[in-house]
């Protein structure tokens, strides 16, 4: 049994290794107004592989806590809903964007200055670890297009 | 019958003349009817002014309904620890504020009303808002003090403290526009677009001079 399990695991690992890795795009961490200890990070995840991938853990040495949340508008009321795991479908993409999915980085442990970079670790359900460098930026002027609906 | 016909003709002529005058006016205005609002929902004309209330500015100055009167007010309810919707909305409003003409800004006030009095009382609120625009007014008050304004506008909020102490606040994400008489004129539903907000504010402020 253990032999079969091992073979299965190796096959599984082989399949995962053969799959192209996730791509993280347009990562940015937005500067918080004075006195605010919670920052929001946004990025887009592309899954060029043939299997769904699940992100389940987010952490950073520079923050006490990192949590994935989704802003949902229901009858004009904004709710924040914790998202314990995020599935990036095979061949698809998921965008974290203002007004939708966002990563909350809570209680910074070092001073935050626009232009600095912060290291974020993202772990997949299978243990694959991603490291993502987030530049701290002011919110840019986006004209009338500040809002992006997220799609998957 | 003999009289009726000329009378009807005269009436028709009069109607046509009025139509022509209207058409002339319409053409003089640039050939199109006033453009409709893009994002606002308008309150009925007989909607009552907001109820009396007393809230506080960041510097401790009391603000009541009369203090709000005299200018248009664009009101957003939120809280400073809100990481996504509030900074996004205030950032959009800062952009709209810059897009408005100085003359329009003199007639309007952007008001951020905190629904998290425990954490947002006093100077903190002022520093937070100044990050977006030094012109924005921040108001805070206890739940009892917030109720008249919240209820008058049909806004809602709900604060909840988790066992680990994390406070989450659900709140109306829309913007409420009051006229200089504090009667609600329009509601802007989220998500907010800078160009559409600018368009509708220009239209609504321009319609009442």
**What's the topology of domain A20-137?**
Immunoglobulin-like (2.60.40)
**Token pair listed for A117:** 């970079």
pLDDT of residue A146: 40
Give CATH superfamily name and number for B40-207.
Glutaredoxin (3.40.30.10)
Instruction: Give the largest Cα separation in chain A, rounded.
Output: 61
Regions of chain B short of the pLDDT cut 50: 1-31
**Token pair listed for B54:** 């007393």
Chain B nearest-CA distance from A39, in A, is 6
For chain B, what are the domain ranges?
A: 1-33, 40-207
CA distance A35 to B106: 29
Cis before B40? omega within 30: no
ipTM for the predicted complex comes to: 0.74
* pTM (predicted TM-score): 0.79
Distance of alpha carbon A57 from the chain centroid: 9
DSSP 8-state symbol, A72: E
DSSP 8-state symbol, B126: H
- The Cα-based distances of A14 to B73, B160, B177 in angstroms read 62, 46, 59
pLDDT of residue A111: 86
pLDDT of residue A139: 83
Residues of A near B (Cβ–Cβ under 8 Å) read 30, 32-40, 69, 71, 73, 76-80, 98-99, 102, 104, 139, 141-147, 149
Regions of chain A short of the pLDDT cut 70: 1-18, 141-152
CA distance B112 to B77: 6
Chain A residue nearest residue B123, CA to CA: A35
Nearest to A77 among B127, B172, B196 (CB): B172
């Amino acid at each position: 049994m253990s032999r079969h399990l091992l073979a299965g695991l190796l096959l599984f690992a082989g399949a995962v290794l053969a799959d192209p890795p996730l791509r993280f795009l347009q990562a940015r961490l937005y500067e918080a107004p004075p006195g605010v200890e919670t920052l929001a990070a946004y990025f887009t995840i592309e899954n060029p592989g043939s299997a769904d991938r699940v992100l389940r853990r987010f952490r950073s040495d520079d923050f006490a806590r990192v949590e994935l949340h989704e802003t949902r508008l229901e009858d004009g009321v904004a709710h924040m809903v914790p998202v314990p795991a995020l599935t990036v479908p095979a061949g698809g993409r998921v965008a974290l964007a203002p007004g939708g999915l966002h990563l909350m980085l809570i209680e910074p442990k070092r001073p935050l200055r626009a232009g600095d970079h912060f290291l974020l670790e993202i772990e997949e359900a299978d243990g694959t670890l991603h490291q993502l460098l987030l530049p701290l930026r002011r919110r840019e002027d986006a004209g009338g297009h500040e809002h992006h609906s997220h799609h998957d | 019958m003999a009289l009726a016909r000329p009378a009807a003709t005269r009436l028709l002529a009069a109607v046509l003349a009025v139509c022509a005058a209207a058409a002339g006016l319409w053409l003089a205005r640039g050939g199109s009817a006033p453009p409709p609002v893009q994002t606002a929902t308008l309150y009925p004309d007989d909607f009552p002014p907001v109820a009396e209330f007393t809230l506080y500015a960041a510097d401790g100055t009391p603000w009541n309904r009369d203090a709000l009167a005299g200018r248009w007010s664009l009101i957003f309810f939120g809280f400073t620890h809100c990481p996504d919707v509030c900074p996004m909305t205030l950032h959009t409003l800062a952009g709209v504020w810059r897009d408005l003409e100085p003359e329009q800004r003199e007639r309007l006030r952007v008001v951020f009303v905190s629904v998290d009095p425990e954490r947002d009382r006093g100077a903190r609120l002022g520093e937070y808002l100044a990050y977006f625009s030094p012109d924005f007014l921040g108001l805070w008050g206890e739940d009892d003090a917030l109720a008249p304004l919240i209820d008058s506008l049909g806004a809602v909020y709900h604060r909840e403290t988790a066992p680990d102490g994390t406070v989450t606040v659900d709140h109306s994400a829309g913007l409420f526009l009051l006229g200089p008489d504090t009667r609600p004129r329009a509601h802007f539903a989220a998500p907010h677009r800078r160009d559409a907000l600018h368009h509708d504010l220009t239209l609504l402020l321009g319609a009442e001079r």
